Amino acid sequence: MTEPDRSRTVRIIGAGRAGGAMAEALAEAGWLVQPPLTRASPAEALRQAAADVDLVLIATPDAAVAEVAAAVEPSQSAVVAHMAGSLGLDELAAHRRRGALHPLVALPSAGLGARRLLGGCWFAVAGDPLIRRVVADLGGTAFEVAEADRACYHAAAVVASNHLVALLGQAERIASASGAPLDAFMSLVRATVDNVEELGPAAALTGPAARGDTGTLERHLEAIAPAERPAYKALSQQAARLAAAGAASRPTGAAGRAGAGRITPWRERTIPGMRKRLRAARAVGLEVGFVATMGFLHAGHRSLIEQARADNDVVAVSIFVNPLQFNPGEDYDGYPRDLERDIEMCADAGADFVFAPDADEMYPAAPATAVDPGPLADVLCGADRPGHFKGVATVVVKLLSIIGDCRAYFGEKDFQQLMIVRQVVSDLSLPVRVVGCPTVREPDGLALSSRNAYLSAEERAQAPILWQALNAGAELVESGETSPAAVQEALAAVMATAPLAQIEYAAALPAATLTADGPLRGEVRLLAAARFGHARLIDNIACRARAPR
């Protein structure tokens, strides 16, 4: 044993396994360990616990830490610390120097626990610098956990230890039903843990959830005892969630785990592959969110992906420039594309999958079938772009048939498109919940659009006129104007003050139908479109007409 250095003196309160293991380990590391105390020690002994020591280490159950700390008379020089993983420093509020020290290792007995504490384990620490010195003396690795994050950190520790034991208990029960002993599975368990340490959880995942084998999962659920099914299904959901995060495309090893908060989405180019992966996620109860895009993503798209991430377990984003919605002479060939940049933005926003088919995958031959959205497709943008919304409706229905049961997120900037998508989903009884999301704007009000990239500096300076016109129109409606024609004239008059704006339309319509129906009543949507050079820009705003007196 190392000769004790009386400049490093500790008194431990708590005679359980943790306190005993820490006493043996610190003594081996060269600390002078004073006789331990317990919660049942005389009050005067507890009051004087911090006298003539450098460190008082409270190793009691979590519920007793605050009471024990309060019983110790504060010292100007001694550090009072606890070993509770879920508690912060507030439990030690009376003490000027305080800390927390939680070893990430099981301590089943004093002797075995001491060997593990001296075996290079990790410690979650907080507070006084002396706590890091303790870890260094034990030969361990310290990492800081903020006060607000202690409970979350401890939950992870419980999952990694206690829940793992419970999981092996379930494996033992299921194995025994087949006549197999638990020992037969232990080499598999050890290899799996080794793989996780080497590769990280996502890359180490194997099995039916990883490969989208829903048939095998269903056979398992049928075969095992009913009491085991809820836990098996819950764990299958977690495995599918991990698989959906794109295990195959994550960086591996320590470098990959260092950036585990940001996951590279799985890039899928085939329709069968996309269906298979999302089918596997839904098979274990995960909910899917979907964002359809034509790429060249901006902050508006990102907001849709982030909303899908907040609402769902799995998020898929499609990136496909749809030729069916471009008329002859429009900008299909010149439409901006940057797939690698788009995938980076999808990763930042939290997408799990990027579905990026080429035109041959989506349309191996010219489609003979099209989706006609009806009269709503022939007004506003449809009047200037005949056939455009038929192409939009056709590709949206095709994409939704590939993605399957989901929530689908569309921006309100393309309000007519949002209305058409809702109508088509309703008319065809698709298993989709359409979610409209607010328009994202530049500081000067210009609605974000991939086509803003076409604007020259002078055009960009004038483009916010659409938003200015819509706001002026909204003020007019909310002040009592109910004549659609008067509002439309006001919109056009403001837009005309931008010399480069080639006005296509200015409209004031009922928000529920976008169909002219006499004086404005209730919820109204003002819509505007104009060309600035090669860029065709659209925008809209919601307002409410006053009820007639």
Residues serving a catalytic function are: 301
**Residue 371 Cα distances to 328, 361, 377, 424, angstroms:** 19, 19, 11, 8
Give the span between the Cα atoms of 436 and 412, in whole angstroms.
6
In the block, tokens 């104007």 appear at 481
Give the span between the Cα atoms of 350 and 361, in whole angstroms.
26
> 44 CB contacts (<8 Å, ≥6 apart)?
none
Contact 125, 142 (CB under 8 A): yes
- DSSP assignments along 467-501, one per residue: HHHHHHHHHHHHTT---HHHHHHHHHHHHTTSTT-
**Residue 361 Cα distances to 152, 366, 523, angstroms:** 44, 12, 41
Give the span between the Cα atoms of 173 and 13, in whole angstroms.
39
Straight-line distance from the first to the last Cα atom of the chain, in angstroms, rounded to the nearest whole number: 94
Contact 145, 153 (CB under 8 A): yes
Nearest to 78 by CA among 42, 124, 47, 39: 47
Contact 530, 495 (CB under 8 A): yes
Q: Strand order in 141-144's β-sheet?
A: 31-33, 5-13, 55-58, 79-82, 98-103, 122-127, 141-144
> 263 CB contacts (<8 Å, ≥6 apart)?
202, 245, 246, 250, 347, 350, 352
- Count of Cβ atoms closer than 10 Å to residue 461 Cβ: 14
- Count of Cβ atoms closer than 10 Å to residue 497 Cβ: 11
- Count of Cβ atoms closer than 10 Å to residue 61 Cβ: 12
Contact 126, 147 (CB under 8 A): yes
Give the span between the Cα atoms of 155 and 153, in whole angstroms.
5
In the block, tokens 């989709």 appear at 432
> Residue 409 is which amino acid?
Y
In the block, tokens 């819950």 appear at 234
Question: Cβ-count burial of 252 within 10 angstroms (0-12 exposed, 13-18 middle, 19+ buried)?
Answer: middle
- 361 half-sphere exposure, CB direction, 13 A CA radius: 16
